[in-house]
Amino acid sequence: MLKILLIIGSGSFIGGVSRYLTTRYIQNSILSAFPFGTFAVNILGSFLIGLFYGMSERGGLMNDEWRIFLTVGFCGGFTTFSTFSNENLSMLRDGNFLYVALYAGLSVFLGLMATYLGNLTTKIF
């Protein structure tokens, strides 16, 4: 059990640091009230989790420890629902109702599509 927790923790650490750096880079590159950084990491993370689960479903491509490291650990640390929720609340307080609708709607729709496409990618190749 301790080994699994260390695997998850190390993946979460790498994912969290990657999220911070990626979000910061994107948000500093695009001056906007819209949270493009969090949006991008959540969509990318959705694609990756679909890809990783698809790879684990294809026998021999990934063992259980790598699957847990990449999905629960890395993707869990890379994506963020709490920041997504806080950014939506902040935009609501500022009266940016169109941004809230776009952010929430596109995040859910594109997140699901990205997960599907990531999983589909493993079946094509």
CB-CB neighbours of 74 under 10 Å: 25
In 30-96, alpha helices (H):
36-57, 64-68, 76-78, 81-93
User: What tokens does 115 get?
Assistant: 């997960």
CA atoms of 55 and 61, how far apart (whole Å): 6
Helices 97-124 and 36-57: crossing angle, nearest 10°? 20
Instruction: Say if CB 74 and CB 14 are below 8 A apart.
Output: yes
Can you tell me the mean pLDDT for 79-103?
A: 97
For residue 26, give Cα distances in angstroms to 34, 53, 57. 11, 27, 32
How many structural domains comprise the chain? 1
Specify the pTM: 0.94
pLDDT one-digit tens code per residue, 2-52: 999 999 999 999 999 999 999 999 999 998 989 999 999 999 999 999 999
Domain of residue 92, residue span: 2-124
